[in-house]
A and B are shown apart, each in its own frame.
Chain A
Amino acid sequence: MNAAANTYPQVQTAGKPAGFDVFKIREDFPILRQKVHGKPLVYLDNAATAQKPQAVIDAISSYYTSSNANIHRGVHALSEIATESYEHARAKLQRFINAAEAGEIVFVRGTTEGINLVAQTYGRANIGAGDEVVISALEHHSNIVPWQILCQQQGARLRVIPVNDRGELLLDEFEKLLGPKTRLVAIAHVSNALGTIVPLQKVVEIAHHRNLPVLVDGAQAVPHIAVDVRALDCDFYVFSGHKIYGPTGIGALYGKRALLEAMPPYQGGGDMISSVTFEKTLYNKLPYKFEAGTPDISGVIGFGAAIDYVTNVGLDRIAAHEHELLVYATEALSSIPELRIIGTAKSKAAVISFVLGDIHAHDVGTVLDQEGIAIRTGHHCAQPLMQRFGVEATARASFAMYNTREEVDALVEGIQKVREVLA
């Protein structure tokens, strides 16, 4: 692979997005003001989890300060307020991804639980012995292991769409994998390890041409790309709150109504029923059928506040800012001797995975940490993908709306320090 030739992502926008003031945005994120090891924090681990704006922190605090109560149960004032706030957040999520109705939004603990839910309900009902589930080489472990478990339970088989040396999906190979035994396609929208943006529209078209449902792991996509599930026409779309500036432990599963209706429940318990006798239980309507037990109410409210925050800033402007950072950082990092970027797709989110000569990613991470720079090092929960590129681990810098060119410069200086210390 010739690294130099295909390293630069294509520039889709020129210059700074109008009216986007990154320094003003930074003021909304209290954690960014702190120092780490005496240096200003440079947080470049956003693909692991994003920092939270004050609005999200306030929403959670305000819920516990003034309206904590269980939802869908009490007739008292606080329960009514809590229920309303909870359902209001669901409506925000529905609008955010343009789902047809709020009933198609199921709250889960995160992307991982959403995928497990679909595997264990839709999967167990529709995938049997000899059937095949198709995933891609880009997947995070959370979109591999739930399907492996399902395949073991049902005697089904996992098939994997390969990628090229740039980390792009091979669509021709994808088409060849689809056959009479294929039952479902489960695929990442954006690769967490490489940043590759998957041509989802095309993938869905190909799958639907054969009447195959498509589940999309959108964890890495929603903070960076405007997602319209109806335009994409995907059947399931799953994402996490904490990667889009919301709290941890909360996520959303979108599913088309007809599919969700036909699926058996995931967990049994309170709130997911409409009536219970010892002989028979009638399940609740959507989405409550899939929300057994008292949910993470404050998490849902915080999630809603994060969606509001992102919507107010504007995803298009966020995407333009991040893309500018990606282009700037790719160019700056490419000038460092012995630094090789892993994942050079033409269409990329603001994620840069790299290896630095013979220096192990862990050592890179430790030296950068001493400079106040937080990056991810390791296999990024994508071991098969690391094997595909013949590396044990990479260092990964991932950008968010609040990152700056100055922080990219700090990263470049930090990497020079790594080379000095470990030379």
Chain B
Amino acid sequence: MADLRELYQEVILEHSKTPRNYRALAEANHKAEGYNPLCGDHFTVYLDVEEDGKIRDIAFQGSGCAISKASASMMTQSIKGKSREEAEQLFDRFHKLVTGQLHANGDQPDLGKLSVFAGVSEFPMRVKCATLAWHTLRAALEGKLETASTE
């Protein structure tokens, strides 16, 4: 049960039940859909990106498990106001976190609240859940119109 509490942290459960920035964004100039064909999780990420690359606003909609939904919700909070490059770097660090590649370094101050997803690394089958929204964000930033997929 200890392991499960690592995965399903209170913060994660809370975000999955009341996701933040959960709406369609009328002013969006970038948008992408993300899909995990293995479980049917499906998200749309909306971005309002300024000309200098700053992410003015971000929102998402869709359905998925607790991990994927909480990850999407917390991603929107941590991405808002960041530049494209900063968003990419954050995804890179987040990916390392959930795949267990940051453990040796101890705390990851620059990940902030996202550190609660460290428990995912003990559940390799759930890495795709945690990263689906991020893959979708990347697809949206790259201006891709097609569906992003974890496969």
Contacts and interface: CB of A to CB of B under 8 A. Distances in A.
A377 B40 CA distance: 10
Interface in B44-101: 63-67
A370 B1 contact: yes
Interface stretch (A171-179, A231-239, A313-321, A356-364): A356-364
B123 to A, nearest CB: 6
B40 A378 contact: yes
A362 B7 CA distance: 13
Given A370-B1, A422-B13, A359 B66 contact: yes
A362 B126 contact: yes
A378 B126 contact: no
B41 interface: yes
A154 interface: no
B39 A379 contact: yes
Interface in A351-409: 358-363, 366-367, 370, 377-379, 383, 386, 392-393
Given A366-B7, A366-B126, A370-B1, A383 B40 contact: yes
A222 to B, nearest CB: 27
A268 to B, nearest CB: 32
B145 interface: no
B107 interface: no
A398 B39 CA distance: 18
Query: Most chain-A Cβ atoms within 10 A of its Cβ — which of B5, B38, B65?
Result: B65
A393 B39 contact: yes
Nearest to B17: A358
B4 A367 contact: yes
Contact of B40 (A363, A393, A422): A393
B66 A360 contact: yes
Nearest to A383: B40
B66 A422 contact: yes
B22 interface: no
Given A359-B66, A362-B129, A363-B66, A421 B4 contact: yes
Given A370-B1, A370-B3, A422-B13, A378 B67 contact: no
Given A367-B4, A392-B41, A392-B63, 9 more contacts: A360-B64, A362-B41, A366-B7, A366-B123, A370-B3, A379-B39, A386-B40, A392-B39, A422-B66
Interface of A: 358-363, 366-367, 370, 377-379, 383, 386, 392-393, 417, 421-422
8 contacts: A362-B41, A363-B65, A363-B67, A366-B126, A377-B39, A378-B38, A378-B39, A422-B13
